[in-house]
Amino acid sequence: MKMMMPTTVSFRRLARTSPSELLAVVKNMRLWMLLAFAGSALVGLALLTGAFAYLSRTNDLTISGIHAVEPAPGVPRLVIETFEDLSGTPHSAIIAQGLTDEVILQLAKFKEIIVVAGDAWRGTSKLLATGYPQALFALEGRVRLHGEKLRLNARLVDRNSGSVVWTNNYDSIVQVQDLLQLEAGIAREVATALAQPYGIIFQADAADLAPSPPNDLEAYKCTLAYYRYRTDLDPATHASVKSCLRRAVERFPNYATAWALLSLTYLDELRFRYRLNSAVPSLDLATNAALRAVELDPQNVRALQAEMLSYFFRGEIAKALEIGARAYAINPNDTELAGEYGFRLALSGQWKSGCKLIASAVSRNPRPSGYFESGLAVCAYVDKNYIEAERWARGADIPDNPIYHVILTAILGQLGKIEEARSQQQWLKTHASAFMDNIRNEIAVRLVRREDQLHFIDGLKKAGVSIPEV
């Protein structure tokens, strides 16, 4: 068997030679053996290169004409060990293996981590040269089946220290006809808890992150810094995060997630007006970065999220929502994507389904997100539940964001709280006067339906905001 593959490869390479030349080669056994040996060596080299590429997901470099692999930019590895069957029955063994496979499937949808099956890791790690990044975390599971009662005990272990970072139990009642659905449901809960942008792995890695992004290039820490910035949308942090991500894509031009996050920072500059005293940032920068991210990894939901937002702010609403639906279908467990897609649906007029998605994202997200809470304030406002709208707005801790103050001003206007609304207007006059000068257009860029725009403007007028008629 070992000789057949290189022999086949050798004759394929000779297929275009003349019959006389081919006959001469066949007669020359030493040449035949040399070609077979060379073919074997090439196959071996290809397998080794494939192992590097599979484990690292990294950029290719050419060194002296030989393909080498550059280590991935610090993205954490998560090894999924085969879940242990503690009951020792054929049925429990099937469930344990099914849960393992389903958890791998769900976790692999998140591109902020690299997921490796435990058996594959042990089988290939010895091939890797010293200095290549190893797994940081391992997920272990133990399955118990007692009658119809199923319990999965899952725990996340830091491979460097051996410490248990997280543990949780998942209990279900097993019915044979719903076994696949049961396994998928548990796997989705595990994946969301661990791998979403504010999940357990993010929290473990972000614990050692400095308040500002690193000056030296640690690309993965730039992504951590981005998600930290997203929790409060602090404009002071925005510039340093953007700078960090720019350096990251220069150093790792094939790092799709960094391109996606860079696009989102450009979009934040546009929609939150972080540079109010300078020219409006080009939407083309955001769009081009998003398209580059999608080109590199069409299954990367952060890339699709950036592309969705780019088209939304270009006014191509149908295209934006189509991209959002595709991203959500790829990974509905990603709360950051689900919330943003839900917000786009709501603002386009699909308030019921959109607000439901935002609420689900907020409930499943372990970290507070003022941005999505302000989205729920808008949902309540459109429903004319102004008391609930104020409750959500007050809970959204994004005091430096102009949109937040505009939303709160409109709510207070509808509630007749004029004095409180004036303090919001004063903030806007001091920090975002250019934004308010073009308030009708700013509202129209975000709210697609005419009736929603007029409803929002009505609240601002009742708050005492002077808005010229058109």
**Token representation of residue 64:** 């002296």
Query: Which numeric CATH code is attached to 353-470?
Result: 1.25.40
Position 32 scores a pLDDT of 37
Most confident of 78-82, 272-276, 280-284, 303-307: 303-307
Residue percentage of the chain with pLDDT more than 90? 57
Terminal CA-CA length for the chain: 80
| AA letter at 360 | S
Is 152 a residue whose pLDDT tops 50? yes
| pLDDT tier at 314, thresholds 50, 70, 90 | very high
Instruction: Note the pLDDT tens digit of each residue in 378-429.
Output: 999 999 999 999 999 999 988 888 899 999 999 999 999 999 999 999 999 9
Bigger pLDDT: 264 vs 64: 264
Instruction: Note the pLDDT tens digit of each residue in 328-364.
Output: 999 999 999 999 999 999 999 999 999 999 999 999 9
Cα separation of 379 and 374, whole Å? 9
Instruction: Note the pLDDT tens digit of each residue in 243-292.
Output: 999 999 998 999 999 999 999 999 998 888 765 444 556 799 999 999 99
Position 383 scores a pLDDT of 97
Instruction: Note the pLDDT tens digit of each residue in 170-203.
Output: 999 987 668 889 999 999 999 999 999 989 998 8
Cα separation of 113 and 95, whole Å? 25
Contacts of 149 (CB under 8 A, 6+ apart): 171, 172, 173, 174
**Token representation of residue 204:** 């473990």
Cα separation of 128 and 125, whole Å? 5
Alpha-carbon 205 to chain mean position: 16
Q: Mean pLDDT over residues 50-62, rounded?
A: 36
Position 367 scores a pLDDT of 75
Q: Which CATH number does the domain 209-333 belong to among 1.25.40.10, 3.40.50.300, 3.20.20.140, 3.20.20.70?
A: 1.25.40.10
Is 105 a residue whose pLDDT tops 60? yes
Position 56 scores a pLDDT of 38
Is 167 a residue whose pLDDT tops 60? yes
Q: Specify the fold of 77-205.
A: Rossmann fold (3.40.50)
Is 19 a residue whose pLDDT tops 50? no
Contacts of 419 (CB under 8 A, 6+ apart): none
Q: Which of 398, 413, 410 is nearest to 446 (CA)?
A: 410
Is 38 a residue whose pLDDT tops 50? no
Bigger pLDDT: 209 vs 264: 264
Is 21 a residue whose pLDDT tops 70? no
Q: Mean pLDDT over residues 58-79, rounded?
A: 50
For strands 114-117 and 77-80, give the pairing: parallel
Contact call for residues 283 and 328 (beta carbons, < 8 A): no
The CA–CA distances, whole Å, from 432 to 110, 415, 429 equal: 36, 23, 6
